[in-house]
Amino acid sequence: MTTPIERWLLDTNVWIFGLRRDGNFPDSTRLLSHIGSFIALVPLQVIKELHLNLSESEMGDFYQLLSRFREGAELSWHAIPLERVTLYQQKGCRKGDAIIAASAEALAADLIVSNNRQFLKTLSPAEIVTPANALARLSVVDVE
């Protein structure tokens, strides 16, 4: 019996730091190279935030990456019901984080991966971990 591949929602900051190869967040960059070892869930909120924060060229890189890992990524263009967002706000999430948590619930995410320290401390429908913890979960060992 095989174990089904996990579904991970990558928070916007993981995509931004990873696509920009930010030296302060190398685990975000490494994690993006392992899409396919997990299904990367990309909800509408993340797509909107990426369009607000990335240049046109960086957005091109984002879509090229998703195209390269076609079987390892799932985009969702559906808005999340406001009552689910409100529920997570009442549990202590800031609005953007509440939308991500509600999206994780709607997309049946097994894990949320984020660099956001405040988000890491809130309640959500899925476990919230850092990119380093996510990589450890994959038992990834990179040789440099």
Residue 38 falls within a domain, yes or no? yes
Assess whether pLDDT exceeds 90 at residue 96: no
Contact (Cβ atoms closer than 8 angstroms) between residue 127 and residue 24: no
Residue 111 falls within a domain, yes or no? yes
Residue 1 falls within a domain, yes or no? no
pTM: 0.88
β-strand partners of 113: 10, 129
Number of domains in the chain: 1
| 3-class secondary-structure state, position 59 | helix
Which tens digit of pLDDT belongs to each residue from 74-85?
Answer: 999 998 999 999
Residue 78 sits in which domain range?
Answer: 7-137
> Sign (positive/negative) of CA torsion 65, 66, 69, 70?
negative
Residue 144 falls within a domain, yes or no? no
Contact (Cβ atoms closer than 8 angstroms) between residue 114 and residue 46: no
Residue 19 falls within a domain, yes or no? yes
Which tens digit of pLDDT belongs to each residue from 9-60?
Answer: 999 999 999 999 999 999 999 999 999 999 999 999 999 999 999 999 999 9
* CATH at residue 15: 3.40.50.1010
Residue 143 falls within a domain, yes or no? no
Query: Tokens representing 99?
Result: 């939308």
Residue 57 falls within a domain, yes or no? yes
